[in-house]
């Protein structure tokens, strides 16, 4: 693994993170070094040490899975911050919202729609009193993209409220994330490229 230098550009750092992070790539994956994008002929990218990958692939029997699709899985959060607190994760291992790009806006929309469908199926009728969002590193508990689906938003526990402040450095709403992804323009490849960390 190459050591990252402080003089490296954010674009290079993003590509290095994508290419080297947590064995997230299958053996037959090919990476375009210019764009940092990866393609594979066989399996989706999985991290065999990631609990969310295990849940998504039905290898964790303790998780209470609520809904599945070909791309996504929704399950109950093990430490709920509201009466309804679910996580929607892609089956594909993506480390965080910072590694998303413009082409993945549809994925974010599908995650939000699954979360809303689960809430409706569970009897939540006031869609104005919900919270949908992503924690941003370093505030993520699991390095696998996951959408928090909370309802009612007005009943988020005071013990956890600081973790779900909309559009704070800790928590970005699904709407804001989609807007930010839409604004990515070349030469940027992912959301991480667009942030002014350096």
Residues catalogued as catalytic? 146
* Contact between 101 and 11 (Cβ < 8 Å): no
Exposure of 87 in the CB half-sphere (CA atoms within 13 A): 26
Exposure of 129 in the CB half-sphere (CA atoms within 13 A): 13
Instruction: Please give the structure tokens belonging to residue 146.
Output: 């996951």
Nearest 5 degrees, angle CA 48-CA 49-CA 51? 100
The rounded distance, in Å, linking the Cα atoms of 132 and 198 is 29
Radius of gyration of the chain (CA): 17
* Contact between 155 and 83 (Cβ < 8 Å): yes
Closest CA to 147 of 63, 195, 81, 75: 75
């Amino acid at each position: 693994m190459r050591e990252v230098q402080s003089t490296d550009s954010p674009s290079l750092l993003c590509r290095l993170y994508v290419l080297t992070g947590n064995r997230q790539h299958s053996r037959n994956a090919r990476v375009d070094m210019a764009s940092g994008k990866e393609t594979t002929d066989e399996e989706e990218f999985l991290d065999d040490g990631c609990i969310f990958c295990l849940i998504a692939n039905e290898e964790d029997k303790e998780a209470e899975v609520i809904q599945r699709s070909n791309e996504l899985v929704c399950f109950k959060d093990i430490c709920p911050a509201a009466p309804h607190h679910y996580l929607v994760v892609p089956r594909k291992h993506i480390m965080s919202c910072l590694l998303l790009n413009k082409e993945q806006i549809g994925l974010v929309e599908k995650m939000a729609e699954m979360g809303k469908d689960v809430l409706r199926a569970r009897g939540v009728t006031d869609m104005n009193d919900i919270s949908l969002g992503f924690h941003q590193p370093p505030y993520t508990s699991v390095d696998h993209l996951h959408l928090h689906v909370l309802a009612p938003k007005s009943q988020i526990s005071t013990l956890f409220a600081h973790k779900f402040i909309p559009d704070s450095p800790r928590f970005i709403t699904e709407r804001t994330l989609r807007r930010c992804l839409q604004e990515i323009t070349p030469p940027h490849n992912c959301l991480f490229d667009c942030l002014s960390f350096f």
